[in-house]
Amino acid sequence: MTRVVVTGGGTGIGRAAARLFALDGAEVVIVGRRAGVLEEVAAGLRPATVRTVVADLAETAGAERVLAALPDGPVDVFVNNAGGVDRAKQPGLAGYAESFRRTLDTNLFSAAVLTEALWPRLARPGARVVNVSSVAARRGGADGYTAAKAGMIGWSQGLARKGGPDGILVNTVAPGYVEDTEFFDPSGRSVRHDALVADTLLGRAGVPGDIASVIHFLASPGAAWITGQVFDINGGSVLGR
Ligand SMILES: NC(=O)c1ccc[n+]([C@@H]2O[C@H](COP(=O)([O-])OP(=O)(O)OC[C@H]3O[C@@H](n4cnc5c(N)ncnc54)[C@H](OP(=O)(O)O)[C@@H]3O)[C@@H](O)[C@H]2O)c1
């Protein structure tokens, strides 16, 4: 049975991706900090085999927990999706520094350390790694979130180079504004909703399934010659080159 690990699989984009893989009949391992949220997703996907791992991936111990919770056998698909902005920023230089570091830990360190932990477990050949960056990396921004998501692109390309000889394919998706997630607010929407929608060429916000379907494709046989790439999925809010 195909085994898929999705971080941040309890909500938003990660939940939508976990659902697509579960519908394929894969064993899906979803990771996040809130047990209740993960359990609810797992219950909703039954009879699919969905395992939940409660772990804070901003800590090295979180990666160790995921590794310890995995049954024997290879990981076929690994989606580094957990992340988000820091809502607890304090004023002053110390507040800026703390928030910047926390944001790097949540978005970049988390992906890098868990990938390092799982790397020996990835299926050879054939494993697919999909990293979730952001349109922020394309637009630029003087903040920790943009730095983390831009850093993720270079890191991901290096991973693709490292994995190529073993048949491990690594790609990145860079979503634009996606509603029905907890990214901006538990309500699922940004306070800048109208402006963000107006930025798109298609006149609507993205929904988690818009991103999940590309992640799913990148894990499919049809994507067997795609590695080291970045996929901008943003309704045309930032044009590709
Ligand atoms: N929504 C957008 O407009 C948008 C745009 C561009 C990029 N993205 C990226 O897309 C990815 C998914 O976000 P989303 O939009 O689906 O928002 P979301 O609903 O907030 O999902 C983020 C998930 O990551 C988990 N998570 C956060 N910090 C974690 C940590 N330290 N350890 C383990 N899990 C953690 C959260 O679960 P817990 O809180 O339970 O841990 C949550 O399930 C993120 O990387 C985000 O940066 C989103």
12 lines ligand 1 (CB under 6 A): yes
192 lines ligand 1 (CB under 6 A): no
**Pocket test residue of 79, 107, 180, 181 for ligand 1, highest count of atoms within 8 A of CB:** 181
Four-residue CA torsion sign, 65, 70, 72, 76? negative
Which domains are assigned to the chain?
A: 3-233 (3.40.50.720)
Atom of ligand 1 nearest to the CA of 83: 45
110 lines ligand 1 (CB under 6 A): yes
Q: What's the CA-to-centroid distance between 205 and ligand 1, angstroms?
A: 17
Q: Please provide residue 77's backbone torsions phi and psi, each rounded to the nearest 5 degrees.
A: -135, 135
Provide the pLDDT for residue 241: 77
Provide the pLDDT for residue 62: 98
Convert the pLDDT of each residue in 178-211 to its tens digit: 999 999 998 999 999 999 999 999 999 999 999 9
**For residue 142, what pLDDT band results from cuts at 50, 70 and 90?**
very high
Average pLDDT, the chain: 97
181 lines ligand 1 (CB under 6 A): yes
Q: What's the CA-to-centroid distance between 31 and ligand 1, angstroms?
A: 11
H and E: helices and strands count for the chain: 9, 7
Among all residues, which ones are annotated catalytic? 145
Provide the pLDDT for residue 45: 98
The percent of residues above 90 in pLDDT, for the chain, comes to 98
Q: What is the three-class DSSP state of 203?
A: coil
Convert the pLDDT of each residue in 81-119 to its tens digit: 999 999 988 999 999 999 999 999 999 999 999 999 999
Yes or no: say if 57 and 34 are a contact pair by the CB < 8 Å rule: no
The percent of residues above 70 in pLDDT, for the chain, comes to 100
**Pocket test residue of 13, 64, 173, 215 for ligand 1, highest count of atoms within 8 A of CB:** 13
Nearest CA among 33, 34, 2 for reference residue 18: 2
